[in-house]
Every structure is written in structure tokens, then in C-alpha cells.
Amino acid sequence: MVFNLFKREKQSNGEGKPEPAANSIADLLKFIVVRLVDNPDDVDVSEVEGERNTILELKVNDEDMGKVIGKKGRIIKSLRIVLRAAAIHEGKSISIELVN
Amino acid sequence: MLYVDEVASSEEEAIETALRKLRLDRKDITVRSVEEVDNGVKVRIEAVRSRGQEATDLLTDLLRRIGIKSELFYIESLDKVLINVKGVHLGLIIGKSGSTLEALEALLCAMHNRSYTWYKPIVINPGGYRENKHKALKTLVKRAVEAAGNGEKVSLPIMRQRDRKQVHQIIKEFPGFKSRSFGDDNDRRVFIYQAAEDEIGPADGLTEVEYLPTEDPDQTVYNDNTHTAIS
């Protein structure tokens, strides 16, 4: 009886939890960035494991730098906010670095 | 599908105006009917491509990748696309006072508008968040107006641009009261105060919109800490 109750509780907890993301955070970043730039083939995202968090290194064509950064850094700021939210969902901590 | 009826001196001219109104390109529309009228031609131009559907598909894909199970339905008008999101754990995409939502919207807008000549804003409404926010702001303004009744300047909490804009619109429902924003980008808040007698606009409560740049030295007058803060 007790065992059954425990089991049921565990099941309902499982249902309530958010679905784990199907793809990794790096894929999500790439998914967004290729839709922002003129040269999607030059977009490259690499994951570097840091001490505390994962660093996503984003490489884009020099011509597309402005597109990824946006006016007053609006786009890159938004990217960081959204990606961080998605990473929390996965129980990770990330930071994005734009390298050229 | 969206359509517009356009009257112009020539069909080409009507199409040109319609494209701007529909925010689409020539290949994305079709001419339904052309009718001769007194001062030219009346043309009905219909869209064959739905920007609302495209934006919704993109957001569906994005949310799935973030890991949120949701149902989306959109309402498309000439000036914007509104996407309603239904699902669980939507707090994740709203964030603290809507910060994540704002970022998500900015990204979706940038991704979607890239392939079009004309810009069309997209508004995401997860689980009725926008309506709730509007209601909360209305209550806040009501309280602020009560507090400002005795001639005091009342400051509201620091808000995002979209919320401040809403406050300025809500305040029009309270004749005799005015609102102004002061402060720098991340520390900008709305002040509500009783308008002076001669400042009161037309009887319907609509007052002229005033614009005051942030770097105006006059703003220091309002930062004298004599106001009541409302949170």
C-alpha cells in the first residue's frame, strides 16, 4: 500500500516536469543564428567546458557580425537571455562568446 | 488570408500601396478583382503567403528546441502578428518581469523579418500573460492616481519600455492626471502626478503626448525624493 502510494506520487511528479530539450543548447544557438545571418554556412558553434559553466563559442562571417550583435547589442543580449533560460531548463549554466 | 481594397489612379499604383500595407512582396500577393470607379480603379489584393503562419511555425520549432511542449495559434492583422501560446512551464519563456519574453520576441522578429522588405512586429502572448500584465498595470495606476490625488508626485517601480508605454496609455482614462518617465535605460520609471488646471486637455481626458529627452536637465526637479513610491 505504502509502496503503491509512493510509486503513484513519483509518476505524477514525472508528468509535471518539463520535457527535456530534444537538442543540445549548442544546436539551439546554431538554429537561431543561421536564421539571422547572410552566410549561414560560416556559422560555427563549439562547446568549451569551463570550470563552472559551459562556454559556447560562436563564430560567424565577419560581414555578419553586425547582424548577430544588433543595434546596441540587442540581438546578442537577447540570445544570451533566451539561451540561458533554455540551459537552466537542462540544468546547465552557459555563457556565449562571440569570436572572430 | 489578409486582403486590402485599394483605390488608386492605376492598378500598378494600387498594388504598390497594398504591398506596403500587407507588408509583403510582389510574389506573395494575387489580384482578386479590378473594378472601375469614378476616380480610378478599385483593386482587391489578397495575400497568398501568411506571415503569421510562418512566424508561428518558426516559434513552434524554437519552443520545441528549448524544450517546451506548447500549442500555438496566431491572429494576423495588417500591423502585427499576435501568437498565443498555450502550454505548461511558460514561466520559463516569460522570465523575470517579462525579460526572457522580450528577448525571445526580439529574436523571433529578427529571424522572421530578415527575408522580407517590410518589417512586421510579432507579439507573443504566453498563457494570457499580456492580458494579466495589463490588468496588473491598471490596478497599479489606479492606486497611484489615488495617492497622487493630494498633489503628490507618485513614482511607479522600474519598468520595461513596453510596460511604461501601457501606463502612459492607461493614464488617459484618468482625466486630470499625467504620467512621465524619468531615469536612464535600466533605471527608468514612470511618475504620475496631478496635472495643473491649465494643463488638463480636452474633456474626453485625452491629453497631448509630451516628449522629454532623458538628458533634459529639468528632470532633476523630479528626482528630489519628495515623491511617494508605489510598488
B91 lies within 8 A of chain A by CB: no
Across the interface, whether the CB atoms of A85 and B92 are under 8 A apart is answered: yes
Q: How confident is the model at residue B219 (pLDDT cuts 50, 70, 90)?
A: very low
Of residues A13 and B56, the one with the higher pLDDT is: B56
The pTM (predicted TM-score) of the whole model is 0.77
Tell the burial category of B109 from Cβ atoms under 10 Å away from its Cβ (0-12, 13-18, 19+). buried
**CATH, residue A40:** 3.30.300.20
- Decide: residue A78, CB within 10 A, 0-12 exposed, 13-18 middle, 19+ buried: buried
The reported pLDDT for the residue numbered B113 is 92
Question: Under a CB-based contact definition with an 8 Å cutoff, are residues B181 and B190 in contact?
Answer: yes
Contacts of B96 (CB under 8 A, 6+ apart): none
Spatial CA neighbour of A33 closest among A82, A87, A71: A82
**Predicted local distance difference test score (pLDDT) of residue A30:** 92
Residue A2 lies in a domain: no
Instruction: Looking at the complex, report in whole angstroms how far the Cα of residue A3 sits from the nearest Cα belonging to chain B.
Output: 29
A100 compared with B94, residue with greater pLDDT: B94
Contact assignment for B67 to A86 by CB distance below 8 Å: yes
- Total of domains in chain A: 1
**Phi/psi-derived region of residue B226, left when phi > 0, alpha when psi is between -120 and 50, beta in every other case:** alpha
Grid cell digits, residue B144:
497611484
Contact check, Cβ <8 Å, B111/A35: yes
Average pLDDT over residues B52-74: 91
Of A16, A22, A75, the CB nearest to B65: A22
Give yes or no for a contact between B175 and B197, defined as CB atoms under 8 angstroms apart.
no
User: By C-alpha distance, which of B42, B23, B21 is closest to B32?
Assistant: B42
Chain B residues whose beta carbon lies within 8 Å of the beta carbon of residue A19:
67-69
| B107 phi, psi to nearest 5 deg | -65, -45
Is residue A8, in this structure, part of any structural domain at all?
Answer: no
Q: What is the mean pLDDT of residues B164-171?
A: 92
Q: Is A90 on the interface with B (CB under 8 A)?
A: yes
The answer to whether residue A65 is domain-embedded is: yes
Domain membership of residue A72 (yes or no) is: yes
- The answer to the question of residue A81 being in a domain is yes
Distance from CA of A1 to the nearest CA of B (A): 31
CB-CB contact of B141 with B174 (8 Å): yes
Q: Of the ranges B34-48, B100-114, B192-206, which is most confident?
A: B100-114
Q: Looking at the domain assignment, is residue A45 inside a domain?
A: yes
pLDDT of residue A23: 55
Residue B64: its chain A contacts at CB < 8 A? Answer: 22
- Kindly state whether residue A4 falls inside one of the protein's structural domains: no
For residue A32, give the C-alpha cell.
537561431
CA distance B190 to A82: 27
Locate B152 and state its grid cell: 503628490
What does the alpha-carbon distance between residue B227 and residue B192 come to, in Å, rounded to a whole number?
10
Q: Which of residues 42-81 of B touch A (CB under 8 A)?
A: 58, 61-62, 64-69
Query: Range of A75's domain?
Result: 22-99
Averaged pLDDT, groups of 10, chain A, 100 residues long? 46 46 77 92 88 88 91 92 88 85
| A28: in domain | yes
DSSP class of residue A18? P
Mutate to test the interface with B, among A32, A38, A82 (most CBs of B within 10 A): A82
In this structure, are strands B154-158 and B228-229 parallel, antiparallel, or unpaired? parallel
Chain A residues in contact with B107 by the CB 8 A cut-off are: 32, 36, 75, 78-79, 82
B154-166 as b/e, with b when 16 or more CB fall inside 10 Å? bbbeebeeebbeb
ipTM of the complex: 0.76
pLDDT band at B220 (very low <50, low <70, confident <90, very high): very low
